[in-house]
Amino acid sequence: MPAKVFLADARSHNPKTSTLAKLERLLERLELGSILAEGELAAIKLHFGELGNDAYVGPVYARAVVDAVRRTGAKPFLADTNTLYTGSRSNAVDHADTAVRHGFDWAVCGAPVIIADGLRGGNWREVEIGKKWFRAVKIAGDFADADAIIALSHFKGHEMAGFGGAIKNLAMGCAPAIGKREQHSVRFFVKAKACIGCMACAAVCPSKAIDPIEGKALIDRGRCIGCGECSTRCPVRAISMDWETELPEFIERLVEYAYGAVKGKEGKTAYVTFVTKVVPDCDCSSWSDLPVVPDIGILASRDPVAIDQAAFDLVKAAPVSAGSVLEGKGGPGDDKFALLHPETRGSSQLEYAQGIGLGSRSYELVRI
Ligand code: SF4
Ligand code: SF4
């Protein structure tokens, strides 16, 4: 049977159709009272946004999810994990500070912010999954210990995964640094002919794996942990990887981690995804470009694969926004993420996720 995916569109013309009012109606349709019980600890998994980024789902909407969880008698907390790369969220102190700067504070959201993998990423548990790449995955301790997870995701492009939605929010988002490293199996290299020697890549490499050699950058593949941060900073796209062989493995590893994040929480998860501000790159970037399609709305479902499939299809069907990086390069019916990141194939996330039993690509879209 197809999974239900509820859609509230982005149009608004009176208080009853405000984004907040629509989100509250979507949360009612999720019937959180049937998956949460009195006193249970419910993690609201979201992304607080890298400093400089403003495309993440904002605290006003997180508050609505907090209130909906509280009405069930469960105890909500807002949570994310530290990043693999250097930046404003690579340890719990900086991360919590960034969260507050972006408005994710008790006073606004009505729930505590908890960095789920601890001060320096050392708080994690092994979760047995018995899949192709992993017998067990490493999940941040406070996500593993939570009774339930409500994933509040922002749908956007991603330079390696193609797109980021609920699956990626669970996979990278619930993994400590060691688990993120296990997913990033790829190794990057510099195309010497294209490199202009600016060393912007070396400045952000968390492993100090990039050195200047004769005016060009050189990556020490023994030290590289495959985080991909250097490739997002290169102004001339001189950093690449073996997309043919290494990307499929990365996607499969990522999806297996998403499976592990919710393993043991069957019937205790729900998903809300904002298909608004669909920007080209991840919210981990310290900037946000113009959205590539007009705002579509908010989705809600009990199935992480169905909600990502629906978001993907809606973005595919949408026109391209004027002034965006895709202007003149595509239109309704084109895979916007393949246009943004030509080496990626985001739909492979969905295929593999359905294949390993994370959820269903088949969905019924219910407009509210
Ligand atoms: S950022 Fe790009 S161009 Fe600059 S040194 Fe690194 S690889 Fe070369
Ligand atoms: S060289 Fe490797 S570890 Fe360093 S930023 Fe690039 S991908 Fe990450």
Model confidence pLDDT, tens digit, residues 28-44 = 999 999 999 999 999 99
- Pick the atom of ligand 2 nearest to 228's CA: 7
Q: How far is the CA of 218 from the centre of ligand 2 (A)?
A: 11
With the most atoms of ligand 2 within 8 angstroms of its CB, the residue from 160, 207, 211 to mutate is 207
Strands 239-241 and 75-80: unpaired
With the most atoms of ligand 2 within 8 angstroms of its CB, the residue from 84, 218, 219, 221 to mutate is 219
Q: Pull the structure tokens for residue 317.
A: 């069907």
pTM of the full predicted structure? 0.91
Ligand 2 site, residue 205, Cβ cutoff 6 A: yes
Q: Which domains does the chain have, with CATH numbers?
A: 3-184+245-367 (3.40.50.11440), 188-241 (3.30.70.20)
Enter the DSSP assignment of 33: G
Which amino acid appears at position 6 of this protein? F
Residue written as token pair 């991603």: 158
Q: What is the pLDDT of residues 128-177, one digit of tens each?
A: 999 999 999 999 999 999 999 999 999 999 988 999 999 999 999 999 99
- Nearest alpha carbon to residue 143 among 38, 269, 261: 261
- In contact, 44 and 62? CB cutoff 8 Å: yes
- Pick the atom of ligand 1 nearest to 239's CA: 7
Distance CA 341, CA 314 (A): 18
- 187 has a pLDDT exceeding 90: no
Distance CA 232, CA 196 (A): 15
- 245 has a pLDDT exceeding 90: no
For the segment 82-91, the average pLDDT, to the nearest whole number, is: 87
Residue written as token pair 């973005």: 315
Q: Put the strands of the sheet holding 363-367 in their side by side order.
A: 113-115, 75-80, 41-45, 148-154, 269-275, 297-301, 3-9, 363-367
Residue 280: per-residue pLDDT? 94
Q: For ligand 1, atom 4, which residue shows the shortest CA distance?
A: 198
Strands 239-241 and 162-164: unpaired
- In contact, 90 and 82? CB cutoff 8 Å: yes
With the most atoms of ligand 2 within 8 angstroms of its CB, the residue from 86, 190, 210 to mutate is 210
Name the closest ligand to CA 204: 2
Q: Which residues contact 327 (CB under 8 A, 6 or more apart)?
A: 320, 321
**What is the rounded (10 degree) CA torsion for 232, 238, 244, 249?**
-40
Residue 265: per-residue pLDDT? 97
Q: Pull the structure tokens for residue 91.
A: 């340890």
Distance CA 78, CA 66 (A): 8
Residue written as token pair 């916007």: 336
Q: What is the pLDDT of residues 274-331, one digit of tens each?
A: 999 999 998 888 888 999 999 999 999 999 999 999 999 999 999 999 999 999 999 9
Per the document, the length of the chain is 368
The runs of H, that is alpha helices, within 54-184 are 59-71, 92-101, 106-109, 141-145, 166-171, 177-183
Ligand 2 site, residue 139, Cβ cutoff 6 A: no
